[in-house]
Amino acid sequence: MKKIDIFFNKYIKGDRYLWAFITLLAIFSFLPVYSASTNLVTTYGVGSNTVFHYLLRHTIFLLVGFGILFFTQFIDYKYFYRFSILTIPIILILLIFTINQGKELDGVNASRWLHIPIINISFQTSNIAGLVLFIYCARYLARKNKEKIHFINSFFSLIFPIFFILGLIFPANGSTAVIVFISVLIILFIGGYPFTGIIGILFMGIISAGIYIFYVIKWGEKKPINRVYTWKNRIENFLNNESEENYQIKQSKTAIILGNKFGLGPGKSVLKAFLPQSSSDFIYAIIIEEYGSFGGIILLFIYILIFFRIMVIATKVQNYFCTLLVLSVGVPIINQALINMGISVGLFPVTGQTLPLISAGGTSMWITFFSFGIILSVSRIIYDDSYYNNIEKRKKNNNEKYFST
């Protein structure tokens, strides 16, 4: 027992509760992914791609994710301050290259993915761009903490980079751009950006998106790489409950109804073979079908507990940038989880958002692990004795200065 304590004290840093919740979700993910992978086998044929193949793939992604989490927790938060400003140009280059691929794969838009041929891995640059943008916003707000921020004087240093990055994401991945945009507005609000400025940014976003959509519908070509018509169809299908094309939502709701209170049991989902993206976008519906509404509520409760720990860390740390950093990378994870769940139960149109740490996937999962690693890195200093000693020392010095005057 003593050796285990020494190991945890040496290698597992930061908030232990957050570590526990992350590990719990990762371990639980094996059950729904293993069950829902039947759909992938049915879709792409058996061959070498069996259910165990996808389970092994998920295992590798999780192990790499925990590796990212483990090493990120040791990085000093000051490096993240410089990280965003240095990576903004790199992200812009990657986004420009990605969107200009103009790729179609089996008639479907694939221009949101960037393929690395040597290691044969594809990743969505929008996921990385979103995280970089969140950290950049936190950095800007922390740097301008004691200055009065105006819409005009922040245009080129804050607003322009936001719209430039989102403008490169939006054409190929509109739902992700909208979710990132909403998360950015939340970060700006938390960081004390003027409310009138936030409203102005919101209207700029709506007008810019409206102009682009109008241009594409009026003069653009109707091709798979142009996502406007896909968005239009999804929204129309969502609003029209009787639409025959609203297949995914109908199957998802059917799975939820079959699950009832306590579910059909692990691995006993009926809809997993018929519901598209059952191992990723609609995995929450499969979870409810197999574990019931009770299991779905427990899973939601775990995400709420994670949000609670994020808030605790953000309020405990005595550094404004660290507070904003934790919230800027943590809140979007909870947003993504709630949106994924909302889509499964029919509250939102289909957007293709995965359930963090549960859905099968690569890039999104690794970005989530990296984000949690950043939060653990910040939480690490809270539990450092020298951290509190420095705070008390500063308070003592301030009191001495006060009484001496």
CB 189 within 8 A of CB 198: yes
Of 61-75, 314-328, 389-403, which range is least confident? 389-403
Higher pLDDT: 19 or 213? It is: 19
The angle at the Cα of 118, spanning 114 to 120, to the nearest 5 degrees, equals 55
* pLDDT the model gives residue 116: 65
CB 240 within 8 A of CB 231: no
pLDDT digits (tens, 9 = 90+) for 222-260: 554 566 767 777 776 666 665 544 777 888 888 888 888
Share of the chain above pLDDT 90, in %: 35
State pTM to two decimals. Answer: 0.86
Distance of alpha carbon 403 from alpha carbon 405, whole angstroms = 5
On the CB side of 275, CA atoms within 13 Å amount to: 30
Size (the chain), residues: 405
Tell me the β-bridge partners of 116: 121
Report how far Cα 213 is from the mean position of its chain's Cα atoms: 25
* pLDDT the model gives residue 386: 47
The mean per-residue pLDDT over the stretch 37-46 comes to 63
pLDDT digits (tens, 9 = 90+) for 282-333: 889 889 999 999 999 999 999 999 999 999 999 998 889 999 999 999 999 9
pLDDT of 401 above 50: no
CB 95 within 8 A of CB 169: yes
User: Which amino acid is it at 326?
Assistant: V
pLDDT digits (tens, 9 = 90+) for 121-169: 667 888 899 999 999 999 999 998 888 888 888 899 999 999 999 998 8
The tokens for 98 are 């990605």
pLDDT of 390 above 60: no
pLDDT of 392 above 70: no
* pLDDT the model gives residue 71: 93
CB 91 within 8 A of CB 132: yes
CB atoms within 10 A of CB 399: 10
